[in-house]
Amino acid sequence: MTLWKSFGASVRGPAHIATGTPNQDAWASFHHAWVDGIVVSDGVGSKPFSNFGSDAACLAVGCAALACRIKADISHAEINRDFLFERIKNNWLSIISALEPRDCSATCLFAFRIGDGLIHLGMLGDGLAATLRSDGSVVSLSEDKAHGFSNITAALSPNVSPKEWRYFSLPEEECLAVLLCTDGVADDLDNVEGFVSSFIEAHCSIAEISANRRTREMLEKWPTPKHSDDKTIACLCREEVPDA
């Protein structure tokens, strides 16, 4: 029997520790009947309530994944990406409704399964979304900044469109694990495939509570000098257990 488990951690960067600023990153996991997933979000640093925005993004994705599951049950249709992305945006706007959306801008990266035989990955903004396949290969998404300024990234807002999201899916049986990272981690990686493979190999075979602890310890001891950004990693991985 195949189960899906998750773990992760998020730590404040040195700059936010020095100024007493809250962590602007967030991550979450969700596990329900036929629905398993993870999400990470990085609040846009210049916005006063970006930490609320990143928390809201995590909640928004979990609710949207459940909505997609219900919609698939009713219509027996493939997932509608535009419906998904619009649902995430509308959920996010509802959660932060007491605040100005422009003050809560945040990126959004997710991976989930809803029982349709696929792992769905999406990315709005910067960071890294990568999957380790059963053949050992790594497939990843990262923001393409070749046609824009390196300090400008897409983020959740009332005007964000489905076209601004990056997305791919793969069959569940071909996926061993998915790794999501905010840019505080992703921007430091010289060898993305090597990092993804080694991280998953070192953490996915141990208990979730131990994986959470090891991930936090790794982020707190991040080796890149003078890197001041918050850092977040979340992982969703398959686990084969004997049938009861």
Q: What is the pLDDT of residues 30-68, one digit of tens each?
A: 999 889 999 999 998 778 899 999 999 999 999 999 998
Tell how far CA 167 is from the center of its chain.
Answer: 12
**Best CATH choice for the domain 2-240 from the list 3.30.70.980, 3.30.70.141, 3.60.40.10, 3.30.420.40:** 3.60.40.10
The reported pTM is 0.92
Distance CA(88)–CA(108), nearest Å, equals 9
Give the span between the Cα atoms of 145 and 151, in whole angstroms. 9
List the chain domain ranges.
2-240
Measured distance CA(132)–CA(174) in Å, rounded: 9
Which range, 9-23, 101-115, 144-158, 222-236, is most confident? 101-115
112-124 burial code (b ≥16 CB/10 A, e <16): bbbebebbbbbbb
Closest CA to 220 of 193, 172, 185: 185
Confidence of residue 7 (pLDDT cuts 50, 70, 90): very high
| Tokens, residue 153 | 């990234």
Amino acid at position 178, single letter: V
Report the relative pairing of strands 35-42 and 175-181 from DSSP bridges: unpaired
Query: Any idea which of 24-33, 70-79, 109-118 has the lowest mean pLDDT?
Result: 70-79
Tell whether the model's pLDDT for residue 103 goes beyond 80.
Answer: yes
